[in-house]
Amino acid sequence: MISDNLNTLQTQLTELLGERQLTSHFIKDELVITIVRDNVETVLVSLRDKAGFETIMDVTAVDYPERAERFEVVYSLLSLTKNVRLRVKLYTDEQKAVPSIESIYPAANWYEREVYDLYGVLFSGHPDLRRIMTDYGFEGHPLRKDFPLSGYVEVRYDNDQKRVIYEPVKLTQDFRNFDTLSPWEGMTKVQLPGDEKASGGPERRRAQGVKG
């Protein structure tokens, strides 16, 4: 059941934000509001200065490739004085930049860089929008739903060139053959603890009571 305090907060924010707020509802006892992308700066200033949400806990995103605006950018705010959290959502795509809120909440600097790196969401006005989780030479954005699980390239150190190089991904066949009875068998020539069956044939396995 939603508490009276949350219901009161919902009413207050609806009056405070007016048309800048598109929707307002509860998800698992937490208030979630949706706003227009271009209004994010004015909305968050109002939430910080007039509603008491002085702390930003996170900025993240969710990818819905089937939508025209595939990215849902989510801001998680906290009011220490009211002891309540608030989620603010907006929508964008690969081309439309979201105004940066780094000047409003300085902690959002690295959060926005992370969303850019992992999803490819652009933030206009950000003072230093570059990758933060992956390498500078990384291709693509790994948390997009259409990004392949194996990635596009793999990295290794080349002794001849004396530098780190990128190569197309090569999947090692050994890692596809997973044996639940002896997971490490075939992956190394060194017998590991618990991998005794690797050194014996079917007769030894039968003697040990292992089927197969």
Which tens digit of pLDDT belongs to each residue from 145-193?
998 877 777 778 889 999 888 888 776 555 555 555 555 555 556 655 5
Indicate the DSSP class of residue 18: G
Residue with the larger pLDDT of the pair 2 and 155:
155
On whether the pTM is more than 0.85, the answer is no
pLDDT value at 117 more than 60: yes
Which stretches does DSSP call E strand in 42-195?
55-63, 71-79, 84-92, 98-99, 123-124, 153-158, 163-168
pLDDT value for 72:
98
CA atoms lying within 13 Å on the CB side of residue 13: 29
CATH of domain 4-132: 3.30.460.80
Chain segment 65-116, per-residue pLDDT in tens: 999 999 999 999 999 999 999 999 999 999 999 999 999 999 999 999 999 9
Nearest Cα to Cα of residue 115 among 137, 136, 100: 100
pLDDT value for 136:
75
- Output Rg (C-alpha) for the chain, integer angstroms: 25
Chain segment 37-72, per-residue pLDDT in tens: 999 999 999 999 999 999 999 999 999 999 999 999
pLDDT value for 187:
55
Nearest Cα to Cα of residue 118 among 140, 96, 137, 141: 141
State both tokens at 175. 């890692």
Instruction: Give whole-number Cα distances, 134 to 129, 131, 157, in Å.
Output: 13, 6, 16
pLDDT value for 152:
78
Maximum distance among all alpha carbons in the chain? 78
Residues 144, 152: Cα–Cα separation, whole Å: 13
Boundaries of every domain in the chain: 4-132
Of the ranges 129-133, 158-162, 200-204, which one carries the lowest mean pLDDT score?
200-204
